[in-house]
Amino acid sequence: MHSGGFSRRDMHRLARSSGSRNTDRQPDVETTTLEEVPAALQRQFEDLLDGEEDIKIAISTDLQFDGTYGKDWVLATEKRLLTFNQNGAPAPEIRNIALEAIDEIQIRELHGNNFMKVRTSEGAFEVARYSKRFAPKFAEATPEIESLIDKIKPDDVDKSKRHRKYVDPGKKKIRCETCGRPIPRWSEVCPNCVEKGKLLFRLLKYALPFWRVSIPALLIMLVIRLVDLYPPILGQRLIDNILIPATLAITGGQSVEPGVFGQLVTIVLLMIGAHAFTAVFSAVRGYMMTWVGQRITLRLRNDAYQHMSILSLDFYQDRETGNLMSRITQDIGRLRDFIAEGLQDIIGDSMTLIYMCIIMFLYSWQLALWVLLPIPFIVLFSFYFGHKMHKVFHVLWKRYAGISTILASTIPGVRVVKAFTREKYEVERFQEQTHLVFDGEMSAAKLWTLYQPIMIFMTFIGTIFIWLVGGRQILNGTLTFGELTLFMTYMTRFLQPVRTLAQMNRRFLRAATSAERVFEILDTPPSVASSKDAIDLPNMRGQVEFRDVFFSYDGEKNAINGTSFTVEPGEMIGLVGHSGAGKSTLINLVTRFYDPNEGEILIDGHDSRDIELKSLRGQIGVVLQDPFLFEGTVADNIGYGKPAATRQEIIAAAKAANAHDFIVKFPDGYDTTVGERGTRVSGGERQRISIARAILKNPRILILDEATSSVDTETESRIQEALGRLIRGRTVFAIAHRLSTLKHSNRLVVLKEGQIDEIGTHKELITKGGTYAGLCEKQMELSKIRAW
């Protein structure tokens, strides 16, 4: 484990107690980073203090200067900075630096580790080396040390060198404050600390409502398994009571008694009865359990999807589509199999084994022991083999995935491959992978082809024992031939349940993994949720105010870094800036795809978090750069935001969006299927469909994200015209790289590294001659070159 586990409460307590002794010195510097120093070290440090001072800050590192893991210390009192280095030469070293001498404390953020460096007028020392895990801790402590320095040097002219920001206020916490575990990016709270109930219990909870069906099904199974063992017993009776006496009688020259055939028919009828019983009730049970399984699937799947739909974009950003899809489809399927079949199989197979053992022991306990002798070996072998097979298949599966990866990159990239004449290289790469698959398949085959014969041989050993031991018992007269046949039949039936039970472990593990993957979805709290007393805002005016907003996607870099400005209803704001300047982030915050880490966004004077999400998003329209069309007709897509729209409204919206003309040219008109498997629709056409969608929704706030990029000039002017109609009378946020697109804007906001660089009208900014003016000039030059 990493060193330095300390609880925040302890630190506060320590900080308070050390502060209370110094009530005469006012005002005190608030410190929060006071870890518990080992007693021996504490004494050494205290020897260096002069009674007038207390240790105010104590932080440990997890690295030493030679690059090995270990715990060094940095302490600060009101007067000095003390550092302890375990591997100082020649002995552990304590350095004592007077705060008065310190000009600057530097944090060097490097790859994989950071350094804390102290600069005085004469020289500089590195005082701590620590991994990135401790970076937040040191970032918090540094300004506190600086405050101590400020107190002792209040008139320092060179203060500016200190007091840099080390922690961004909007930064998201990487680790949970309670348990220290990392918080997944998609979650705001530590899932470890909100976990409720154990996996299996939760799984059973899904099966529990169906106990009225599953318990009878279980009972039926127990009966079936018992009845299933009855025909061999009947066979034994048939042989011992009828067939052998009859054979003996005939070889002895006597005739068989007349009633015997009747007995034979009775036994055969009983056999038919037993089999018919098993067949009928197996079918009934099968149907019941399928029903239970499907009910569970239905519930789990819908619960999971419903929960997914309220999760924030973070959750999706962090996972691949395929991964999430397989949870909803495969994992839930696996859980169903496990709850509905797996658990019953375990019980049923165990019962079959127990029944058989009891019956065999009743017939002949000696022979039963011999029959059971190979079983442990078969179990061990199945177990070992299953494990091995699993590994081989896993490798094989990865190799097949490798083929898919190559195909997935070279098929869409075929133009690049050909243009750079790399066909040969790609073919070789592919062949290499297929050879790997071949090798994998062959090693799988090697195992698999071995498995069957070995299993058969092991079973055969059981049979040999029956012949040998059972045969001897027959010779001794302690066993009948019918009994021997019974043992033979049971021997063959033993194998299947033994094998199932041997593989149970893995089946269980797999179900547990699937359960975890599914419950992870169900347990993720939505990071953007309406608060309990959220209000409806049915007639939004569309005023948007940003107030000291900070936001970070990853907790490392702030995408929005303290932004404040107000947009009046009906105003069009053009957002300008380099890619990564925070334009899209700003929009994600307005639509509440994310919530700010700090500060607030007010809509008509209400904190956006206090507005019902549905009400808010219901009045925001979005036109994206590459609009997404759902599987469905053109009309469905236009009406997506207003399901109750009439045909007339849809046509009107399409007309306003300049989309009507091309839609009517489709053979199926508004009924044309678009989307993944539908008609191909060009970028410009998709664009206009999505504008129609936004017009129909009639939002108060409109977001245009690069709405006119990558289309030809003719199409662009059609889109511009449509946009002109769309934006009228709405609050608009528009992002565009092409500044001409923003010419309708009332004001422009120029963003730079998450902050507002400039704000004002086009004219004002041009006159000002700042960033925006520079950008405009560059684009003018470019547009001269652009001939089409």
Partner 1 sequence: MEQPIRIEDEVQFLDPKLVKISRNQFADMEAELPDGSVHAPVEPVRTFPLTQPDQYISLLDANKNELGLIEDIKQLRKADRTVLAEELKKCYFMPKITKIHSLEGRFGITQWEAETNSGSVSFDLRSRHDITSLDGGRLLIKDVDGNRYEIVNYHRLDPKSVALLETQI
- Sign of the torsion formed by the C-alpha atoms of 421, 427, 433 and 435: negative
Q: For residue 435, what are the contacts with CB-CB under 8 A and spacing of at least 6?
A: none
**Minimum CB separation from partner 1 for residue 133, in Å?**
4
Nearer to partner 1, 111 or 196 (CB): 111
**Minimum CB separation from partner 1 for residue 114, in Å?**
9
Stretch that binds partner 1, among 68-76, 292-300, 363-371, 423-431 (CB under 8 A): 68-76
Nearer to partner 1, 516 or 661 (CB): 516
Stretch that binds partner 1, among 8-16, 28-36, 391-399, 418-426 (CB under 8 A): 391-399
Q: Total residues at the site for partner 1 (CB under 8 A)?
A: 41
Nearer to partner 1, 199 or 271 (CB): 199
Instruction: Determine contact, residues 138/128, Cβ cutoff 8 Å.
Output: yes
How many of the other CB atoms lie within 10 Å of CB of 763? 8
Instruction: Determine contact, residues 129/115, Cβ cutoff 8 Å.
Output: yes
- As given in the structure block, the two tokens for residue 103 are 């000009």
**Minimum CB separation from partner 1 for residue 86, in Å?**
12
How many of the other CB atoms lie within 10 Å of CB of 226? 14
Q: Which of residues 431-460 bind partner 1 (CB under 8 A)?
A: none
Nearer to partner 1, 324 or 343 (CB): 324
192 binds partner 1 (CB under 8 A): yes
Q: For residue 433, what are the contacts with CB-CB under 8 A and spacing of at least 6?
A: 399, 402, 403, 406
Stretch that binds partner 1, among 393-401, 469-477, 573-581, 660-668 (CB under 8 A): 393-401
Nearer to partner 1, 302 or 513 (CB): 513
115 binds partner 1 (CB under 8 A): yes
Nearer to partner 1, 6 or 45 (CB): 6
- As given in the structure block, the two tokens for residue 30 are 């608030």
**Minimum CB separation from partner 1 for residue 305, in Å?**
19
How many of the other CB atoms lie within 10 Å of CB of 787? 5
Report DSSP letters for 252-286, one per residue.
TTPPPPTTHHHHHHHHHHHHHHHHHHHHHHHHHHH
Distances (CA, A) of 481 to 137, 149, 239, 472: 81, 100, 7, 11
Nearer to partner 1, 137 or 688 (CB): 137
Please classify residue 198 by burial: count the beta carbons closer than 10 Å to its beta carbon, then call 0-12 exposed, 13-18 middle and 19+ buried: exposed
Query: Which position has the token pair 């006071």?
Result: 34
**Minimum CB separation from partner 1 for residue 330, in Å?**
17
Nearer to partner 1, 123 or 253 (CB): 123
**Minimum CB separation from partner 1 for residue 741, in Å?**
33
How many of the other CB atoms lie within 10 Å of CB of 277? 15
111 binds partner 1 (CB under 8 A): yes
- As given in the structure block, the two tokens for residue 5 are 């586990």
List 1, 89, 419, 785, residue binding partner 1 (CB under 8 A): 1
**Minimum CB separation from partner 1 for residue 505, in Å?**
16
How many of the other CB atoms lie within 10 Å of CB of 273? 14
**Minimum CB separation from partner 1 for residue 29, in Å?**
27
Can you list the alpha helix ranges (DSSP code H) found in 411-557?
A: 414-419, 423-465, 471-476, 481-502, 504-523
Q: Which of residues 211-250 bind partner 1 (CB under 8 A)?
A: none
**Minimum CB separation from partner 1 for residue 558, in Å?**
16
Q: Amino acid identity of 179?
A: C
- As given in the structure block, the two tokens for residue 563 are 């932004």
List 25, 79, 95, 117, residue binding partner 1 (CB under 8 A): 117
50 binds partner 1 (CB under 8 A): no
Q: For residue 318, what are the contacts with CB-CB under 8 A and spacing of at least 6?
A: 184, 185, 186
Query: Which position has the token pair 């599987």?
Result: 631
Nearer to partner 1, 199 or 274 (CB): 199
List 439, 556, 661, 777, residue binding partner 1 (CB under 8 A): 556
Instruction: Determine contact, residues 491/463, Cβ cutoff 8 Å.
Output: yes
**Minimum CB separation from partner 1 for residue 393, in Å?**
12
516 binds partner 1 (CB under 8 A): yes
List 11, 101, 107, 124, residue binding partner 1 (CB under 8 A): 124
Distance CA 394, CA 317 (A): 27
**Minimum CB separation from partner 1 for residue 125, in Å?**
7
Report DSSP letters for 719-744, one per residue.
HHHHHHHHHTTSEEEEE-SSGGGGGG
How many of the other CB atoms lie within 10 Å of CB of 47? 8
**Minimum CB separation from partner 1 for residue 315, in Å?**
11
Stretch that binds partner 1, among 60-68, 617-625, 662-670, 718-726 (CB under 8 A): 60-68
Query: First CA to last CA across the chain, in angstroms?
Result: 63
Nearer to partner 1, 190 or 501 (CB): 190
Q: Kind and range of the H or E element at 749?
A: strand 747-752
Beta strand 73-77 pairing with 55-60: antiparallel
What is the rounded (10 degree) CA torsion for 298, 300, 303, 306? Answer: -70
Distance CA 647, CA 639 (A): 9
Helices 423-465 and 375-410 meet at what angle, rounded to 10? 170
- Sign of the torsion formed by the C-alpha atoms of 410, 415, 419 and 424: positive
Angle CA(224)–CA(226)–CA(227) in degrees, nearest 5? 65
Nearer to partner 1, 103 or 610 (CB): 103
Nearer to partner 1, 91 or 110 (CB): 110
**Minimum CB separation from partner 1 for residue 579, in Å?**
19
List 25, 88, 94, 125, residue binding partner 1 (CB under 8 A): 125
Nearest alpha-carbon partner for 87 in 69, 74, 109, 75: 69
**Minimum CB separation from partner 1 for residue 701, in Å?**
34
How many of the other CB atoms lie within 10 Å of CB of 110? 9
List 175, 202, 541, 642, residue binding partner 1 (CB under 8 A): 175
Nearest alpha-carbon partner for 752 in 588, 579, 595, 565: 579
Q: Which of residues 619-658 bind partner 1 (CB under 8 A)?
A: none
69 binds partner 1 (CB under 8 A): yes
Distance of CA 289 to the CA centre of its chain: 31
List 394, 557, 614, 725, residue binding partner 1 (CB under 8 A): 394
List 126, 341, 604, 607, residue binding partner 1 (CB under 8 A): 126
**Minimum CB separation from partner 1 for residue 109, in Å?**
9
Nearer to partner 1, 162 or 592 (CB): 162
Q: Which of residues 316-335 bind partner 1 (CB under 8 A)?
A: 318
Q: Which of residues 300-319 bind partner 1 (CB under 8 A)?
A: 318
182 binds partner 1 (CB under 8 A): yes
Q: Which of residues 131-150 bind partner 1 (CB under 8 A)?
A: 131-133, 135
Instruction: Determine contact, residues 350/302, Cβ cutoff 8 Å.
Output: no
429 binds partner 1 (CB under 8 A): no
Nearest alpha-carbon partner for 312 in 194, 175, 187, 183: 187
Stretch that binds partner 1, among 42-50, 62-70, 363-371, 662-670 (CB under 8 A): 62-70
List 14, 55, 58, 63, residue binding partner 1 (CB under 8 A): 63
Stretch that binds partner 1, among 126-134, 418-426, 532-540, 767-775 (CB under 8 A): 126-134
Stretch that binds partner 1, among 125-133, 305-313, 335-343, 665-673 (CB under 8 A): 125-133
Which positions lie near partner 1, rule CB under 8 A?
A: 1-2, 63, 67-70, 110-113, 115, 117, 119, 122-126, 129, 131-133, 135, 174-175, 181-182, 184-185, 191-192, 318, 391, 394-395, 398, 516, 520, 523, 556
